[in-house]
Structure 1
Amino acid sequence: MTAVLRLTEHRPRRGIRLSAPQAALIAASGLVTVAPEPDGLWRVNADREMVGSVRLSAVGESIELVITPKIPVRRLFFLLGYAQGGMHWQREAVDVQRHDDLVPAVAHAFARMCERALGQGVLMGYRTVEESAPVVRGRLRTAEQIRRRYGGLLPAEISYDDHTADIAENRILLAAAHRLMRTPGTEPGTRALLRRVVVRLDGVSALPPGRKLPVWQPSRLNTRIQNPLRLAELVLNSHSYEFGTDHSLRADGLVLRMWQVFEDFVTRALSEALSTGGGRCLLQDRRFHLDHAKTAQLRPDLVYEPPGAGSPAAVVDAKYKRSREAGSHTGDLYQMLAYCTRLGLREGHLVYAAGSGITGGRHHLHGTPGVTVHQHVLDLDSEPEALLAQVSAIAEAI
């Protein structure tokens, strides 16, 4: 029977009894830090800013690791709405209140969203098929016919558009349903709903393992499945992986990088708030380098250019950590100083995920001219409306 180790993000657990192979397996995952304690016990800390549920396995050893986010799952789902390009949970009326762990909530939400979307019928679309056939259908590929058949008439090299359910959108939904059915932490009732999703998608081909996800484009036709599609991409982008060249170590499950979720939320929410005044926001802007040889690239999280300016007026960087008193996070100030110096700005903005108060003060840095770094704090445990109001306040300051 696989042992289960439950942790909470950034809350170390002491006195855990593990075998030496189990401790080595957990340490090798890179999801947590492990340190020995007296009497053969271990201290485990989920301090790598990752949450989720995975089954770690190696030769003759396995353990299930569950890392609960430090913020309520319902708050995390709101942040994910921005991280995945705008999932509208309110429209889906998905109940995640009863789940404390991430994986059961994600699996349940995905199953219910698919049930609602596919209940109106499986989405159909056109797919271009190129094949050799004994009859001519669609368009004859003349160049291929000459190259392969040397002028022969049959079989014909043809191309045609097939109206089918085997399209990119349905392949992504099917792959995510299979993934969540195998993910530790998915509840039996949710697995039953996922099996119904698989049955509805009968005839859709499976995605080859290890390949990139097929590309789909939002349109009027696939509006009803866009939310489950974005959630499916989140699931599949957190798929099973291997550790380096050691193929004996595997982790199967769902893991989210919280720093990435926070960064995506801050940049997207700020972009929406700033867009009301016109101008444009550039995310992960790669136009600037710190040196003349262009070997040291800068990539600020957000650069704001007001209407008609043609040059940056503000720079923002998101930090998934707690703001602290003077003397800490000096590296963040170095980073913002580099951004402001290169972009020719007198002010920069740091946005933290926790701290005292909504605004954390400012730092006046030495130099000619001097640079002022504003420190902002978001309360992630706020209701969505209150959290967006905090973002709007930061946008006003910018």
Structure 2
Amino acid sequence: MPDRTEVRLAEYGSVLLGAAQLTPRDVERLRSLQTRGCLGLDQARSGWRLKADATVGILVLDRIRLVIEPKFAIPGEHLMRWLAYGLGAPTPLPATARRWATGPDGYADLVAGALLEQCEQLVREGLRRDYVRRQSLEPVLRGRLDVASQVSRRYGQLDQLHVRTFDRMADIWDNRVLGTALRVARTLATHPDLVRDLHAIADAFPQAPTPDAALRALDRTRYTRLNARYRAAHTWARLLLRGGGVTGLLTDDGMTADGLLLAMPALWEAVVRRLAAEAATPQGGRNVPSSGATGITVRGDLGSNSTFRPDVLLSLPGRDPSTPTLLPVDAKYKRYDRYGVGAGDVHQLLTYSAGYTPSTDPRAVIVHPCPEGHSHRVLEVTGPQGSLGSIHILGVHTLAAPQQAAVWIRSVLPWADW
């Protein structure tokens, strides 16, 4: 691998790159990411102006290694914990129990290490094997004789036989996608011990023809009791194989790149969905769809109808057990522990509260990350005719365990007085 210059910038930051630092292939890949809102790229007088968005991580280009750091000072271990929580995957081993280590910016190393841990466990338990159809040349008859090949290639000779067999082998797609992801991880990892261990374990897994083929196989995978133990490893493999094509946590609609980019707003939305569900369930609440009969629709404008959909819509038990109350919850990846809530978000949440909650007490909830501790404040919006609604602003401590955060949210959700 050629030596690459490391370029670092903060989330939403920008950097000026020289014209010689980006190859035409790099520009094409960055333009592809730009069309999906991951970053911005503009031509400047002396080169290129690269502007980061809310997507963070590492992107390995031909001449530079781009590191986009998150604006929140979340150590890698804690970010990994929230990532595992949002994806519903098991949390990797703590640093004291593993052989690999990471630096403050080693998010790619963290995901590669999580994949390594799961693959090592699969090897210890024994890789799954299944019947695979093979065509081979054998000295004795095994399986079925391939008459057409025998006649056209051996011209009637019987010293070697073209046969078709079904053998139990590890060369199946469940293992191929992991072999491909391990090889991708080796190009992203920076810690020498981690790179060595990835090299060692990769030899135990077959490889798919291309990363795209592995991704298509992952999209087709259905889990049963036979391959359920592969689910966690496939989760981390999917993140690595998506590479620079991350527009949501588990979506991909374009070319991939050598990198690991995390769309932080999408990650936070996934976290809040699970936090809200775990907070509401013990009290008899549940998540309900915010579309269809429970959607807010704007009609009569030019063009097609538009909709308002909160990230989470909770159905909570009210005073009358037969009439549950709806509570809209929106995930905001913003520092609302330091700055006031923007007017656009106030308007959005007031629309949610007017559409879903009782007219006598309209309310909605914003959940945002807060590195310095849990926080809770209430915005009261009033007009000449009285109250328009209240907005509860919940800051979740990102250094706390997700399960602890769910308990805290349960204690401050505004259902106690409904």
**TM score, norm. by length of structure 1:** 0.73
Q: Distance in 1 between matches of 2:221 and 2:30?
A: 37
Q: Which residue of 1 aligns with 2:408?
A: 390
Consecutive unaligned residues of structure 2, counting only runs of 5 or more, are 136-141, 145-164, 248-253
Q: Distance in 2 between matches of 1:124 and 1:361?
A: 55
Q: Distance in 1 between matches of 2:341 and 2:122?
A: 49
Deviation at 1:175, TM superposition (A): 2.6
Q: Which residue of 1 aligns with 2:83?
A: 80
- Over 3 Å counting, the alpha-carbon distance change for 1:378 and 1:279 in structure 2 is closer
Q: Which residue of 2 aligns with 1:280?
A: 286
More off after superposition, 384-393 vs 106-115: 384-393
Amino acid at match of 1:354: C
Q: Which residue of 2 aligns with 1:361?
A: 377
Q: Which residue of 2 aligns with 1:54?
A: 59
Whether 1:376 and 2:380 are equivalent positions in the alignment is: no
Aligned positions of 1:150-189 closer than 5 A: 163-183=168-188, 185-189=189-193
**1:76 aligned counterpart, secondary structure:** helix
Q: Distance in 2 between matches of 1:41 and 1:112?
A: 42
Deviation at 1:171, TM superposition (A): 3.0
Amino acid at match of 2:310: P
Amino acid at match of 2:272: V
Deviation at 1:340, TM superposition (A): 2.0
Alignment deviations for residues 350-383 of structure 1 (CA, whole Å, 9 cap, x no partner): 0111388633422223477732111111121335
Matched-pair contact (CA < 8 Å) for 2:176–2:208: yes
Q: Which residue of 1 aligns with 2:201?
A: 197
Amino acid at match of 1:353: P
Deviation at 1:261, TM superposition (A): 1.2
Q: Which of 107, 115, 134 does residue 102 from structure 1 map onto?
A: 107
Q: Which residue of 2 aligns with 1:261?
A: 267
**1:238 aligned counterpart, secondary structure:** helix
Q: Distance in 2 between matches of 1:338 and 1:96?
A: 48
Q: Distance in 2 between matches of 1:194 and 1:116?
A: 13
Q: Distance in 1 between matches of 2:228 and 2:261?
A: 27
Q: Which residue of 2 aligns with 1:297?
A: 307
Q: Which residue of 1 aligns with 2:65?
A: 64
Q: Which residue of 2 aligns with 1:19?
A: 18
Count of aligned pairs between the two proteins: 357
**1:52 aligned counterpart, secondary structure:** strand
Amino acid at match of 2:116: A
Q: Which residue of 2 aligns with 1:271?
A: 277
Q: Distance in 2 between matches of 1:180 and 1:250?
A: 14
Amino acid at match of 2:124: G
Whether 1:236 and 2:241 are equivalent positions in the alignment is: yes
- Over 3 Å counting, the alpha-carbon distance change for 1:343 and 1:162 in structure 2 is farther
Matched-pair contact (CA < 8 Å) for 1:350–1:376: yes
Q: Distance in 1 between matches of 2:389 and 2:134?
A: 60
Amino acid at match of 1:6: R
- Over 3 Å counting, the alpha-carbon distance change for 1:302 and 1:162 in structure 2 is farther
Superposition CA RMSD, Å: 4.3
Q: Taking every aligned residue pair, what percent have the same amino acid on both sides?
A: 25
More off after superposition, 88-97 vs 353-362: 88-97
**1:300 aligned counterpart, secondary structure:** coil
Q: Which residue of 1 aligns with 2:9?
A: 7
Matched-pair contact (CA < 8 Å) for 1:87–1:230: no
Matched-pair contact (CA < 8 Å) for 2:336–2:368: yes
Matched-pair contact (CA < 8 Å) for 1:240–1:252: no
Q: Distance in 2 between matches of 1:253 and 1:235?
A: 7
Matched-pair contact (CA < 8 Å) for 2:265–2:332: yes
Amino acid at match of 1:117: L
Consecutive unaligned residues of structure 1, counting only runs of 5 or more, are 138-159
Q: Which residue of 2 aligns with 1:145?
A: none
